[in-house]
Amino acid sequence: MYIVIMSRVAVVKYFGDFLGEKFSVSVYENMIKAGIGFVAGNLSLNEYFKQLFPGGAVGIKTNCLTPFNATPLNLTEAFVNILRENAGYDENDLIIWERTNHELKKAGYTLNAASTGVRCLGTDVATIGYDRTFLNSGKVNSMVSKILTRMIEHNVNIPILKDHSIAGMSAGLKNMYGAIHNPNKYHDNNCSPYAANINNLTPIRDKHRLTIIDAVKVQYDNGPGYAPHSIDSYNSLIISEDPVAADCVALEILNRIRARNGKKSLKELGREVKYLDEAEKLGLGQANIAKIEIGVLAIAEDGSISEGKLF
Amino acid sequence: MDRRKFMKFIGCGACAAMSSHSGLLPEFLGGVQNACAFDYTRELSSVEARYYKKLPEGGIECEICPRRCRITDLERGYCGSRENRGDTYYTLVYGLPCAVNIDPIEKKPFHHFYPGTSAFSLATAGCNVNCKCCQNWDISQSRPEQTENFSLPPKDIIDLCQQRKVPTIAYTYSEPVIFYEYMYDTAELGHKHGIKSVMISGGYINPEPLGELLKHLNAVKIDLKAIRETYYKDYVDGELKPVLDGLIQIKKSDVWLEIVYLVIPTLNDSDDEFTELARWIKNYLGVDVPIHLSRFYPQYLLKNLPPTPQTTLDRALSICRAEGLEYVYLGNIPSHKAESTYCPKCGEMLIERRGYRTSVSGMSKNKCKSCGKIIPGRFF
Ligand code: SF4
């Protein structure tokens, strides 16, 4: 199924003039296209998207737990635009989704549970809910959102990178807690192996296509709730087909941002991220950073791309 | 906001959801519909939780149950019914039951607590463990926004009990420990109005909140799920020790106690386990604490196992009786003679039970009519 080397991760850093709090839609579009260009290897953007999304509805899973530190609307919009323009997707086949309508709304998203247009909705919409079949993976037994099991064929995970008081880090794998009905049951032992098990639930694993982690403003401490005094700019997106490799690179970045802000490492604090190794054992991806091909791309305001450095 | 009168829901989805937890819902609705109308709501409560402490490094620690969840802003505890908002901890289910019914007290089961009476029974979403055999998993393993909830504050419960002449409130179906504040306030108010309260629980609660709660409870039924830690670890996601400690604490109080042990093929049904169970009860609680050995039916995450064979239950019954336990019952086997109560001294039948039909014919107040032995429990 996978058409490129799985463990290839693009880190796309924006170096243009940046005065505001948010990146514009067009900046995000340029960043996504640059990152996909690396991940896609020899394929053109259009060819790549057509192979990755050969038809059927695409879900876009955000992270809107905290309204002030949620997946930016502009990032989601940029990805929707690219899917429509480069993969020829019809707006009716795109669904931005979350656990609840309330979370999406508070993060600034306009809900649309109608039958036309890009849909934007939570699993808690009365007619949706969770599939009443318990799915099992390792220590996890959960019902999964019908948005994932019944409404979409492909899922793109668009979380934000942040510190997490229990899991250590919240990025791609942790964001899929929002797809199950009982996430509160799976926080023991720094969410390990639970975060891995959740991502190994059949519909989550089989429908995963791409991870795009927003690491523009990284909350490096006191997460997952919003803590404005613990935010540092990194101005990047992390993009990969491999959900474990994407998180592995995100963890490296988070640890280094913590260090430059004088914070102890997650390991020293007893919040080491252990679920990545568990995910690798389940065959979900690559957790060894030495084995991941990382492409750091510096992107300028005019969209020109040059080689960059992680730090 | 989505608020409608509960009455408008009769015959609709919410009732269907509720009736899956209780077979007696139509009877309840039939009786209550002229007397009351309470609201269905999609809103969660924001009542500050009790028994939690703020942590110096930020976040809170919940002290209700031995799990002692540490929770940062906007996160919930394991039970899914409590949430940290800016380091104030809230219960989300106060006054919001998702299952409400009037049941016979025998259904809880209580066999020595005002036999033949009824109990206003209620539960909210959520549970602090995750038993693989849970029969109410659709509410116990859900978060409150995933269930159909009714707005039913403590005062309305008391009013309903008085209107319907129901003597007892039962906190049951899911796990009352996780709606501690709601249960506590209702029980306290009930006390003031002469309405009794009983808790049906897994007993996974810390000593201090339990001690306070016992002041307002009249009876407790504990599901002792096994007598081995390994079972609690593998099939409950909890620990045995705090449950045993809680049983001793309850027994030492003035509150009436009964125990249920669900016998599950291959998991907790060996002779050794039945012997250990009986001996522990005898040594730490006394031979006069009733125990209900209950038949398992496959459900939730244990659908691979068969129902408990009758022979296993008979074996368990014999072992417990041979160890000296005086009130050993079999449950979930309608019309078995071990549903009824017999005098341990003279052997006369005291309370006859057929399903949920109860006849207290062999007792005068709390004594055996035949030999005069005092039968422990609460009787009229
Ligand atoms: S009551 Fe709930 S939040 Fe509190 S310790 Fe128990 S499981 Fe955790």
Is residue B68 less than 8 Å (CB to CB) from chain A? no
Would you give per-residue pLDDT tens digits along chain A (311 residues)? 444 456 999 999 998 766 567 899 999 999 999 999 999 999 999 999 999 999 999 999 999 999 889 999 999 999 999 999 988 999 999 999 999 999 999 999 999 999 899 999 999 998 999 999 999 999 999 999 999 999 999 999 999 999 999 999 999 999 999 999 999 999 999 999 999 999 999 999 999 999 999 999 999 999 998 999 999 999 999 999 999 999 999 999 999 999 999 999 999 999 999 999 999 999 999 999 999 999 999 999 888 999 999 99
Q: How confident is the model at residue B69 (pLDDT cuts 50, 70, 90)?
A: very high
8 Å CB contact of A182 and B78: no
Three-class SS of chain A: CCCCCCCEEEEEEECCCCCCCCCCHHHHHHHHHHHHHHHCCCCCHHHHHHHHCCCCCEEEEECCCCHHHCCCHHHHHHHHHHHHHHCCCCHHHEEEEECCHHHHHHCCCCCECCCCCCEEEECCCCCCCECCCCEEECCEEECEEHHHHHHCCEEEEECEEEEECCCEEECHHHHHHHHECCHHHHCHHHHCCHHHHHHCCHHHHHHEEEEEEEEEEEECCCCCCCCHHHEEEEEEEEEECCHHHHHHHHHHHHHHHHHHCCCCCCCCCCCCCCHHHHHHHCCCCCCCHHHCEEEEEEECCCCCEEECCCC
The answer to whether A216 and A23 are in contact (CB under 8 A) is: yes
Q: How far is B58 from chain A (nearest CA, A)?
A: 8
State the pLDDT at residue A21: 72
Amino acid A19: pLDDT: 56
Q: What is the pLDDT of residue B23?
A: 28
Residues of A in contact with B59 (CB under 8 A): 165
- Contact call for A222 and B58, based on CB within 8 A: yes
ipTM for this model: 0.87
Q: Say what the pLDDT of residue B334 is.
A: 85
Site from B68, B145, B148, B237 to mutate, A interface, most A CB atoms within 10 angstroms: B145
Q: State the pTM of this model.
A: 0.90
Q: Do B76 and A100 touch (CB under 8 A)?
A: no
* pLDDT for the residue B156: 96
Mutation test residue for ligand 1: of B60, B61, B78, the one with most atoms within 8 Å of CB:
B78
- Contacts with B141 from chain A: Cβ below 8 Å: 181-182, 185
What per-residue confidence (pLDDT) applies to B168?
98
Q: Which atom of ligand 1 is nearest to the CA of B77?
A: 3
Name the residue among B59, B72, B143 with its Cβ closest to that of A184.
B143
A105 CB within 8 Å of a chain B CB: no
Cβ contacts from A onto B, under 8 A:
57
- Judged by DSSP in three states, B129 sits in coil
Residues A52-68 have pLDDT tens digits of: 999 999 999 999 999 88
Interface of A with B in 160-179 (CB under 8 A): 165-166
Q: What pLDDT, on a 0 to 100 scale, did the predictor assign at position B365? A: 95
Nearest CB partner across the interface for B72, out of A184, A185, A224: A224
Give yes or no for residue B196 CB within 6 A of ligand 1: no
Residue in B59, B130, B146 closest to A185 by CB: B130
B293 lines ligand 1 (CB under 6 A): no
Question: Is the model's pLDDT at B169 over the cut of 50?
Answer: yes
User: Which residues does B120 contact at the CB level (< 8 Å), separation at least 6?
Assistant: B100, B101, B102, B157, B160, B161, B164, B166, B168, B169, B170
pLDDT in tens, B15-44: 333 333 332 233 333 333 333 456 788 899
Q: Does the pLDDT value for residue B338 go beyond 90?
A: yes
**Spacing, Cα A170 to ligand 1 middle (Å):** 22
Q: What is the pLDDT of residues A279-307, one digit of tens each?
A: 999 999 999 999 999 999 999 988 899 99
Average pLDDT, chain B: 90
Q: For residue B209, is pLDDT > 70?
A: yes
Cβ pair A209, A155 in contact under 8 A: yes
Q: Please report, for residues A168, B263, B303, the alpha-carbon distance to residue A171 in angstroms, rounded to integers and kept in the order given.
A: 10, 43, 35
Average pLDDT over residues B307-332: 97
Distance from CA of B29 to the nearest CA of A (A): 24
pLDDT at B57: 87
| Across B33-47, B206-220, B228-242, B265-279, least confident range | B33-47
pLDDT at position B40 is 82
Determine whether the interchain pair A225/B73 forms a contact, defined as Cβ–Cβ distance below 8 Å: yes
User: Are A224 and B74 an interchain contact pair (Cβ–Cβ within 8 Å)?
Assistant: yes
B345-373 per-position pLDDT tens digit? 999 999 999 988 999 999 999 999 999 99
Q: How far does the centroid of ligand 1 lie from the alpha carbon of residue B127, in Å?
A: 8
**Res. B269: pLDDT tops 70:** yes
Say if ligand 1 is within 6 A of residue B68 CB: yes
Chain A contact for B130, CB < 8 A?
yes
The pLDDT value given to residue A115: 87
Give the gap in angstroms from C-alpha A103 to the nearest C-alpha of chain B.
12
**Which protein residue's CA is at the shortest distance from atom 5 of ligand 1?**
B68
Of residues B380 and B324, more confidence is placed in B324
| Ligand 1 pocket residue status of B69, Cβ below 6 Å | yes
